[in-house]
Amino acid sequence: MEPTWTKRIPSWAMCKWFYVFFVINVIVLMLLVSAIVYAFVSRTAFKMITVPNVFIALIQLTVASTNMLFFYLICDRSLHPT
């Protein structure tokens, strides 16, 4: 089912491409966790914490961590097929 022109793309190139997204998602995840910790520690930022903000932050954390996991798995499986 794969087109012939895509078969010429090496596995290492696929891995590098998705590994970059993995690293970006790790950075986003760390920034989100840092922002949440800062919001709970800082007195001025603590006043801005509302239920919708917490809900959106949890959604962002879930998406970033899920993307991070699957980008890593795509990279790992492209170089180590079973």
CB atoms within 10 A of CB 24: 14
Instruction: Encode pLDDT of 20-79 as tens digits.
Output: 888 998 998 899 888 888 887 887 777 777 888 888 888 988 988 898 888 888 878 777
pLDDT at residue 81, as a whole number = 61
Picking from 26, 39, 38, 30, the residue whose alpha carbon sits closest to that of residue 71 is 26
The DSSP call for residue 9 is S
Q: What does the alpha-carbon distance between residue 33 and residue 78 come to, in Å, rounded to a whole number?
A: 30
Alpha helices in the chain (DSSP H): 11-41, 43-46, 51-79
pTM, whole model, 2 decimals?
0.71
